[in-house]
Every structure is written in structure tokens, then in C-alpha cells.
RNA sequence: GGGGCCGUAGCUCAAUUGGCUAGAGCAUCGGACUGUCGAUCCGAAGGUUGCGGGUUCGAAUCCCGUCGGCCUCGCCA
């Protein structure tokens, strides 16, 4: 009689001292075999953890014989009696370590080929291999925990929004291409040869239409697609916590989201997050941190030292300032201990992202215990300028100052990169702190010099601040929007805005973005039409769920938050997608490849 | 599209200035072993050095190209 594996009594890690003397039936995979010829020990794993099986040839020769045939990752069902382990043989590393199962019956449900890598958290197999065998990688406890945590986060989010009276509504995956922003993933239509659907970059327009429909509070855990180059924190398909509300201003959105994040943090980490989150003006974030997603867990703010730098003899500073640029400094507390090798390495990496070099000084004291600069560009500063810069930056003995000179945007890019890298390297980032903040007062537009037009900073449906509406005609560059970003520990979780709910303002914005009335009608005609029928004021936000996951679980890669992720070249190494297709399929879709190398189906 | 790192046994890594039969640990296979928990001990098998070309008496090593992985800048409204 085969074991009734469908009558499992408990999970592996649940077997404990309460069960001693009871018969249990467990199922799982063979983690490890320790065969003493006589006594055999097998660890069995399921998604809860491990339990040790004991096979005694004197007690049960038949099971013992099967135990000898077991290999890693065999799938088994086991029935036996739970026994307390003898004195001194308890394994404190196992949840079930106080007990073991004396096996009476065991079935091999299926055998396993030798796995290409060890199924263990500390496996050293490289990611390429693990992605190819993702189903095995997902047996590793660390990834199982990750996906289970993801489930709990999503559940907490749904709990919150349900309690708040939000309606979860699904929006189309096959939709209309609106060639703005990111590249679309296109899907050819068979029924309409030569026409294409696009996969949504976000449900943005649909959720606005739902507001016009009167749904008032919308939420969706929405899959989104963008055909752009990838990063550790970017995948071609990703999930957004997408929400929208009617009859609200930004503060209402902040309030709902802050309480949502607080609820999630409480559920996942048991911590209370202080509310309200700080509101940081875009301008201030750029000045103090050089980025619109500042990590405020540590200091090292950027300080403008243009005035003092002007008096130095250093050509790089002089040239930058003459060209209308700025000079900023960043103080690294205790940074004077950094070696030449370390700072050279930083300079090299910095050159890799477009910087000319890395001016720096180390801070010491002279004989009169006055601040003195050493090494690097120290020789270009008089004692007076030294004192001025030291005063502005708060530099003291043992510190190090990095400088950057040039156009403000470049200086911000280089110093904020440096700030993050140095903070990480020197372990200046406090652990277990959660710094949420809102970036507000974001400019409406940025000037696109190539195309000679304004671009939306957020997206073209973002409303300008009411008081700035007159500036739309006179000075668009100074218009601030009602857009906002949510930032956690230096990562942008997402952004949103109060939307334009008037067709005339929407048309004016499209005009500034150089979208002709014809193009407006072609791309967004349905939205402009809808805005004619009594649209409510509305606003919302979309947060990257995968990034939330990454930050909350301390993972370094977005891939580890997903069940079946893609590589940096957007390939799935397991399924080998994307793949060539049959000529017949292409014909049906009225498609013909122009690819230089002929891809053939495999 | 640009920059950086990487690719040697199933896995993780070695291999001196270019030089002898490309080694080790783990895994695998065989044997021994009745309290292990990374079991231990003995033995065996395991290689187109990602792929293609070049330089050389001789290439894992040097050069060119290419494929793939990771990080990153651009890009991602």
C-alpha cells in the first residue's frame, strides 16, 4: 500500500516536542543524507524548513533499504513516530531540532537527477545557472521566504485599501500604444493586419477614466511593461501598486499612502513608522543631496562652495565657474583615512560616468591648531579660502572633502553618486532605519535642448499648481506641478500627482509639449473626449511593488523578488524567451522580420 | 549605444614571465562504517579552458572578433 501523501499531517519544521510519541506523515525533498552503514539520517525539506529522519536497520529493515537509495532532491512521503532526540544530540539550528522522526514507512514519490547546484541559501552557483534552473533556485529557503513575504505585503496592501473603501479594478493588458515616455512592447493584431496593441506602461489613463466613471477610489496591483534597458532595480515587466482618488488634493493621497506603508511596515517588520512623512521640495533635494531621491539616513550633504572656489588658483574650478557652472563639496567624516588607492579607484569609476576627475583634500590641523588642507588640490587654497571652505562644510581634522565642478546637473550626478558609494563603502548607513519622504514642488517641465521643446517632468496629465497656471504662458520653466514622489532610503518608490481635470488646461499642456491638436486627438482623443463629460478633480500615485519588496526584505536585486525574472538583456534563461517563431505565425500576423541574422525556431 | 568586471570538470575556484599529463574542494559513482547533522574514511570517474580567428616552436594565459552573465552611464513621460 502506497503512503497516502495527500494526508500530510504537518509541515517539516512544524514537527516538534508536542508531537513526541505521535505518528506523523510528512512530504518533502531530500536535503541531505548521512549514511553510517547502519544508522542512516536524512534531512527532509519543505517550504517551512527541515526535519531529520532516522532509519534504524534493526527496527525497520525495509525502510532502511530505501533510505540507502535516496539522493539529493528526491521527492518523498514518510510516516513515522516522532521521538525526542537523545541528550546532547539536539540540533539548535533546526526549528525541529529537538526531535526526529523514526521512519516506519517511506515512499519515493519521484527521483531527482543530480541537481546542477546545491539547494541551500549559501549556494555559490552563479546567477546565470540559477536562472536557467529557476525552479530549483526557488527551492532555496531565501527565495521561498522572499516570495512568501511578497504575498504578505500584497495582502497587507489589499487589507488597507479594502478597509479604506477602495475598489480593485483590473484594466486591459492589450491596449493602445501612446508613444510617449518609454518604448512600448507591441502585440500584433491578427484580425487587423498591420495594427498593434501595446502592453501598458502603466494603467495611467484607464484609472483617470475610472475616476470620470465615478469609481472615486480605485486601486490595482497592476502589471506594467516597458521596453527599456534594465538595471538591478528594473525589469521589463514589473508590478505597480496603482491607486487613484477623486475629489482630493495631494494631502489626501499622502495620507492614504502613508497609512498604507505604515500598515505594511507593521505587518512585515513590526515597526511603527512615524507619520506624516517629511515633505522635501525638489529644489532642496537637488541642492542638498544632488538627487530627487535622497537617502536621509546619513548626512554628507552637498555644500555650494562656488564663492570660495572662485578665489582658488585651481583651473578646473575657475573654468567651471566662468562657464556658469558651480563648485560643490561633500564632507566625508573621518575620510582622511581613505588611501590613495581608494580615492583613485573612486576617481576612475567617476570618470566612467562622465566626470573629469575627483578633486579632494584631506583635513588636518596646522601648528597653531588651525584647519589645514593636505594632499590633492590643497595647494590651490590660501589659508583664508581654506578657512572659508572649512567653515561652510563644517570640515574638521580627520575629514576628507570631495569637490565637483561644472554644470549643476553634472555636479549633482557626480556628487550624489559619490555620496552613495562612499557611504556604503565606509559603512556610514545606519541599519534598520526607514526614511520615507515625499518630494514635492517638482517643476512641471524640463527643457529638451535636442528637440527644442518642453518635456513633462512627470507625465502630461500632471496638474500645475493653481497659482502657477498663469506662468504656463509666460515662463513654463518656472511652473511647479502638483506632482510628487515617494522615496524610501534613497530609492524612488513611485510617483503621482493631482491630475488635470479640465480639457482646456490639458490641451494647453499638450501644446507646450509640442503635441499638435491632430496628434492629441490621435493619441489621447478618448481622454480629451472623456474630460468633456464632467470629470471630477482627481489624483493618485503608482508605487513600484517590486522595489518596495526589495527594500523591505533587504535584497540587492529586483530579480530576487520575482518568481521568474529576466536578465539584463530581457531574456528568460529558463524558457529562452524571447524566441523565434514559425514562419506561419508571422504570416498570420502579416509580419515579416527585417532582422539581419535569420532567427529560426528551435 | 558607452564604461567596468567576469566566463577553466556538474558547481565554486587554482594554474609563476606564454612551457611538463590543466589541479583542488564540493557534488557524482563504487567500497567501508549503527548517533550523524557541511558525517567521516578509502578509491574511481570527470575537461573542445564560452565560441571563432590570429600571433607563437608552444596559448587557459597575448591580440582581434563574437556570444552570454553581472554592475553602471545614457535611456526608463
Q: Is the model's pLDDT at A602 over the cut of 50?
A: no
Say whether the CB atom of A122 is under 7 angstroms from strand B: no
Say whether the CB atom of A96 is under 7 angstroms from strand B: no
Task: Provide the residue count of chain A.
Answer: 602
Give me the A residues in range 188-217 that sit within 7 A (CB) of strand B.
201-202, 204
Provide, in whole angstroms, the distance separating residue A126's CA from nucleotide B18's C1': 30
- Tell me the pTM: 0.93
How far does chain A reach from its first CA to its final CA, in angstroms? Answer: 44
Using CA atoms, how far apart are residues A402 and A418, in angstroms rounded to an integer? 9
Provide, in whole angstroms, the distance separating residue A41's CA from nucleotide B39's C1': 10
Q: How much is the pLDDT for A455?
A: 87
Q: How much is the pLDDT for A452?
A: 77
Q: How much is the pLDDT for A444?
A: 94
Provide, in whole angstroms, the distance separating residue A350's CA from nucleotide B3's C1': 10
Provide, in whole angstroms, the distance separating residue A414's CA from nucleotide B51's C1': 38
Q: Which bases of chain B are under 7 A from a protein CB atom?
A: 1-4, 10-13, 26-29, 32-40, 68-77
Confidence category of residue A420, pLDDT binned at 50, 70, 90: very high
Q: How much is the pLDDT for A519?
A: 87
Q: Is the model's pLDDT at A598 over the cut of 60?
A: no
Q: Which domains does chain A have, with CATH numbers?
A: 5-110 (2.40.50.140), 145-279+437-561 (3.30.930.10), 298-429 (3.30.1360.30)
Say whether the CB atom of A307 is under 7 angstroms from strand B: no
Using CA atoms, how far apart are residues A44 and A12, in angstroms rounded to an integer? 7
Q: How much is the pLDDT for A179?
A: 60
Least confident of A20-29, A132-141, A177-186, A288-297: A177-186
Q: Is the model's pLDDT at A102 over the cut of 80?
A: yes
Using CA atoms, how far apart are residues A264 and A270, in angstroms rounded to an integer? 9
- Which of A524, A494, A529 shows the shortest CA–CA distance to A254? A494
Say whether the CB atom of A130 is under 7 angstroms from strand B: no
Nearest residue, CA→C1' of B72: A353
- Please say whether the beta carbons of A467 and A481 come within 8 A: no
Complex ipTM tops 0.90: yes
Give the model confidence (pLDDT) of A439-463 as tens digits.
999 999 988 877 778 888 888 999 9
Instruction: Give the distance, in angstroms, between the CA of residue A181 and the centroid of all CA atoms in the same chain.
Output: 20
Using CA atoms, how far apart are residues A311 and A322, in angstroms rounded to an integer? 12
Which comes out higher in pLDDT, residue A247 or A600? A247
Say whether the CB atom of A444 is under 7 angstroms from strand B: no
Say whether the CB atom of A599 is under 7 angstroms from strand B: no
Give the model confidence (pLDDT) of A263-316 as tens digits.
999 999 999 999 999 999 999 999 999 999 999 999 999 999 999 999 888 999
Q: How much is the pLDDT for A597?
A: 55
Using CA atoms, how far apart are residues A78 and A54, in angstroms rounded to an integer? 11
Provide, in whole angstroms, the distance separating residue A126's CA from nucleotide B21's C1': 30
Is the dihedral angle over the CA atoms A525, A208, A177, A447 positive or is it negative? positive
- Which of A590, A563, A542 shows the shortest CA–CA distance to A205? A542
Say whether the CB atom of A278 is under 7 angstroms from strand B: no
Average pLDDT of chain A is 93
Give me the A residues in range 360-419 that sit within 7 A (CB) of strand B.
413, 417
Q: Is the model's pLDDT at A600 over the cut of 90?
A: no
Give the model confidence (pLDDT) of A310-348 as tens digits.
988 899 999 999 999 999 999 999 999 998 888 988 998
Sheet containing A436-440: which strands, arranged edge to edge? A167-168, A217-225, A237-246, A538-544, A491-498, A483-488, A436-440, A279-281
Provide, in whole angstroms, the distance separating residue A99's CA from nucleotide B46's C1': 39
Confidence category of residue A174, pLDDT binned at 50, 70, 90: very high
Amino acid at each position: 500500500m502506497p503512503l497516502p501523501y495527500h494526508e500530510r499531517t504537518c509541515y517539516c519544521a512544524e514537527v516538534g516536542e508536542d508531537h513526541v510519541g505521535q505518528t506523523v506523515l510528512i512530504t518533502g525533498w531530500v536535503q541531505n543524507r548521512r549514511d553510517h552503514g547502519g544508522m542512516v539520517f536524512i534531512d527532509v525539506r519543505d517550504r517551512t524548513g527541515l526535519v531529520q529522519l532516522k532509519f534504524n536497520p534493526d527496527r525497520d529493515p525495509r525502510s532502511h533499504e530505501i533510505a540507502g537509495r535516496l539522493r539529493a532532491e528526491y521527492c518523498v512521503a514518510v510516516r513515522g513516530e516522532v521521538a525526542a532526540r537523545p541528550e546532547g544530540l539536539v540540533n539548535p539550528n533546526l526549528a525541529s531540532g529537538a526531535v526526529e522522526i523514526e521512519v516506519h514507512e517511506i515512499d519515493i514519490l519521484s527521483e531527482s537527477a543530480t541537481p546542477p547546484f546545491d539547494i541551500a541559501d549559501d549556494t555559490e552557483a552563479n546567477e546565470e545557472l540559477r536562472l536557467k534552473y529557476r525552479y530549483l533556485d526557488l527551492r532555496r529557503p531565501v527565495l521561498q521566504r522572499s516570495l512568501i513575504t511578497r504575498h504578505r505585503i500584497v495582502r497587507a496592501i489589499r487589507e488597507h485599501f479594502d478597509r479604506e473603501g477602495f475598489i480593485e479594478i483590473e484594466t486591459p493588458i492589450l491596449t493602445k500604444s501612446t508613444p510617449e515616455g518609454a518604448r512600448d512592447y507591441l502585440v500584433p493584431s491578427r484580425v487587423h493586419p498591420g495594427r498593434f496593441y501595446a502592453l501598458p506602461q502603466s494603467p495611467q489613463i484607464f484609472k483617470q477614466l475610472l475616476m470620470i466613471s465615478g469609481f472615486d477610489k480605485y486601486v490595482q496591483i497592476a502589471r506594467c511593461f516597458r521596453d527599456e534597458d534594465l538595471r538591478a532595480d528594473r525589469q521589463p515587466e514589473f508590478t505597480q501598486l496603482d491607486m487613484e482618488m477623486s475629489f482630493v488634493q495631494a494631502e489626501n493621497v499622502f495620507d492614504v499612502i502613508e497609512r498604507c506603508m505604515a500598515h505594511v511596515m507593521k505587518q512585515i517588520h513590526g515597526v511603527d513608522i512615524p507619520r506624516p512623512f517629511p515633505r522635501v521640495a525638489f529644489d532642496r533635494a537637488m541642492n542638498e543631496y544632488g538627487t530627487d531621491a535622497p537617502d536621509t539616513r546619513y548626512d554628507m550633504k552637498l555644500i555650494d562652495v562656488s564663492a570660495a572656489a572662485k578665489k582658488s588658483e585651481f583651473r578646473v574650478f575657475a573654468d567651471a565657474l566662468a562657464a556658469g557652472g558651480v563648485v560643490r563639496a561633500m564632507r566625508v567624516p573621518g575620510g582622511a583615512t581613505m588611501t590613495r588607492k581608494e580615492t583613485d579607484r573612486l576617481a576612475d569609476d567617476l570618470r566612467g560616468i562622465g566626470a573629469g576627475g575627483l578633486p579632494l583634500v584631506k583635513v588636518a590641523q596646522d601648528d597653531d591648531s588651525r584647519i589645514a588642507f593636505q594632499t590633492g588640490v590643497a595647494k590651490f587654497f590660501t589659508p583664508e579660502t581654506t578657512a572659508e571652505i572649512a567653515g561652510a562644510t563644517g570640515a574638521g581634522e580627520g575629514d576628507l572633502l570631495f569637490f565637483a565642478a561644472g554644470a549643476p546637473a553634472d555636479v549633482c550626478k557626480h556628487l550624489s553618486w559619490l555620496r552613495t558609494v562612499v557611504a556604503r563603502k565606509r559603512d556610514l548607513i545606519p541599519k534598520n532605519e526607514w526614511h520615507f519622504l515625499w518630494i514635492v514642488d517638482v517643476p512641471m517641465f524640463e527643457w529638451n535642448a535636442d528637440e527644442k521643446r518642453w518635456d513633462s517632468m512627470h507625465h502630461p496629465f500632471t496638474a500645475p499648481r493653481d497659482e502657477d497656471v498663469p506662468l504656463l504662458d509666460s515662463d513654463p520653466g518656472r511652473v511647479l506641478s502638483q506632482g510628487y514622489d515617494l522615496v524610501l532610503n534613497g530609492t524612488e518608490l513611485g510617483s503621482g500627482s493631482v491630475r488635470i481635470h479640465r480639457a482646456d488646461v490639458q490641451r494647453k499642456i499638450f501644446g507646450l509639449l509640442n503635441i499638435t491638436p491632430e496628434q492629441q486627438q490621435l493619441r489621447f482623443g478618448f481622454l480629451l473626449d472623456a474630460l468633456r463629460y464632467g470629470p471630477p478633480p482627481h489624483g493618485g500615485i503608482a508605487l513600484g511593488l517590486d522595489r518596495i519588496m526589495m527594500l523591505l526584505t533587504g535584497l540587492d536585486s529586483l530579480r530576487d523578488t520575482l518568481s521568474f525574472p529576466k536578465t539584463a538583456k530581457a531574456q528568460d534563461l529558463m524558457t529562452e524567451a524571447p524566441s523565434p517563431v514559425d514562419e506561419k505565425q508571422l504570416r498570420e500576423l502579416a509580419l515579416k522580420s527585417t532582422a539581419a541574422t535569420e532567427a529560426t525556431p528551435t
